[in-house]
Amino acid sequence: DARLEKPGWATATFDDKAWQPAALVAAPTEKLSAQRSEPIKVMRTMAVAKWTEAKPGVWVADFGQNLAGFTRLSVSGPAGTTITLRHGERRAADGTVDQKAIAEHVYYPRFQEDRYTLAGRGTETFETRFAFHGFQYVEVTGLPAAPTASTLQALQARTAFDRAGSFSCSNDLLNRIEKLAEWSYESNFVGFPTDCPHREKNGWTGDAQLACEMGLLHYRGEAAYTRWLDDLADAQRPDGKLPCISPTPGWGYNVLDGPAWEGAYVLIPWWLYEYRGDQRILAEHYPRMAKWVDYYAAGAKDDIVTYGLGDWCPWKTQTPSPITSTGYMVQCARIVARTAGLLGKADDQKRYEALADRLAAGFNKAFYNADAGTYGNGGQTSLSCALYQDVVPADQKPRVVQALVDAVAKADGHLDVGILGSKYLLRALSDNGRADVAYQIASQSTQPSWGWWLGQGATTMWETWGTGASLNHIMFGDISAWFMEYLAGIQPDPAQPGFQHFLVKPTPVGDLTSVHATHDSPYGRIVVEWERHDGQFQLNLSVPPNSTASVWLPGDKAPREVSSGVSRLSCKLPDAK
């Protein structure tokens, strides 16, 4: 209520005798530390793309983009006039803002709603200071006159880490999918990684780990992740159990959790090490990482972890959760073993290597159908999980890869996975010589696919392969990391983390004729540009100072070693499949 503001309250001459004086209190006794991550800032200011009058006096602003942030209102009118702004990502049939899908968990009758009462002192500007919303549309009521171009602006807000990567290619559909992922990632890092910027704003650990590699390739978010991992460590119980959300008010330890979610506490520190080369994050969290692995190992039955949320939001096929839970425990036990080795804890390394081997053996015993060469129900997530988590015996891998290719063909070249499978699927195919099938899936424009979302008007990634839930989630966003690591081919070297030495494995596939990608590594900018024409492949590569790269051109049996500077490499393309 702007009428309550006291003119001149912030000046030295204002009479503040009626104000309550400041109280002198004891200083904090805890150790104070500097903020460990970047602050939240306004990163973009956006104009209204289109105004419509849904009903007399009810105006709806469309910004043309789903985003996280808030709005700035500039208006003049009589004192006492109250203007209401309702933010949402959908419009109802009558053109007003529809909040049903994002307000379902809210008890308070008003949701994502700002109200401003004019003081009547010329043009007044208002923006909320203590909240942010997820929205594309804003319903405005109470305006003294029809809105103008200056009435409302959207202010995109997020944690202010720098950009660190870009990707574009000759396939415009993939370029548009890339933008969906970038907008969703930014919308879901306002202080800490979240699931959505409106309905919950919760720090879902599963969403965080699924989007982490995409985030580290595109943004300098390592400080923000470091701070959030401290929150997660604070939430760990004495027995090692972690919640599925962080920060948590106390729930999430026995509902909607499990290794695929809680494993973020092991996976993200490891990826920070791989992509940034900083071993300190592993040293700091190793004891708690090991305690968490021990917790689930103790509860395993016949070396199978049965507890946990499975492949969330699948298209049709529901994957048994013991498959994904056990698969993640294999991966996390291996990471803890490698971390122990880095830290000089040889006995721990042997113990966790043995645990990983037992869990992998249990996985194969319980889920592998040797007659069919399939795992579990033979679905895409079951098969790609086994391949991605590297539990398939070497002599069986060709059969399992073929079974996965057949499962995709059965779905008419489409995916049939949830959020976990979406991380495994494209990577498992590409790592096993079938990037052509992965590209076919990524390029689809019919349901279910990322391209189908675009056809429905999406500007961010959705929560499901349908239309009924949130329209701004990041949990299906790892496809953007796949663009960078497989199509462009920029990959960290697991043996030499931090990109002082890195791998370049470009993948000319399908109808793709060119790719341009950059990544700002700790040593400087990496640039990959490739194109193909008339059976020839040309790669332009920029390697930062003090860095080296191992480069595989299409058809290469061994890498070409490249030092810092700009290199131009070419080859004749091998015959396509």
CB atoms under 10 Å from CB of 280, counted, come to: 11
First CA to last CA distance, the chain:
68
CB atoms under 10 Å from CB of 305, counted, come to: 25
- CA dist., res. 523 & res. 172, Å (int): 31
570 beta partners: 538
Instruction: Please tell me the total number of residues recorded for the chain in this structure.
Output: 577
The residues that are catalytic are: 200, 463
- CA dist., res. 415 & res. 425, Å (int): 8
Helix residue ranges per DSSP H, 74-199: 172-187
Helix residue ranges per DSSP H, 456-525: 478-482
Answer for the pair 421, 415: CB distance below 8 angstroms, yes or no.
Answer: yes
- CA dist., res. 161 & res. 186, Å (int): 10
SS3 of 58-108: EEEEEEEEEEEEEEEEEECCCCCCEEEEEEECEECCCCCEECCCCCCCCCC
In sequence order, which residues have a C-beta less than 8 Å from that of residue 109 and are 6 or more positions away?
A: none
CB atoms under 10 Å from CB of 402, counted, come to: 15
Q: Show the beta-strand stretches assigned E in 497-535.
A: 501-504, 514-521, 524-533
In sequence order, which residues have a C-beta less than 8 Å from that of residue 448 and are 6 or more positions away?
A: 315, 414, 415, 416, 465
Whole-angstrom Cα Rg for the chain: 26
Read off φ and ψ for residue 350, nearest 5 degrees: -65, -40
- C-alpha angle 235/187/143, rounded to 5°? 120
Q: Which amino acid is at 27?
A: A
Answer for the pair 418, 311: CB distance below 8 angstroms, yes or no.
Answer: yes
Q: Which two tokens stand for residue 300?
A: 């395993």
Q: Identify the CA nearest to 222 among candidates 5, 32, 499, 11.
A: 499
Read off φ and ψ for residue 375, nearest 5 degrees: -120, 140
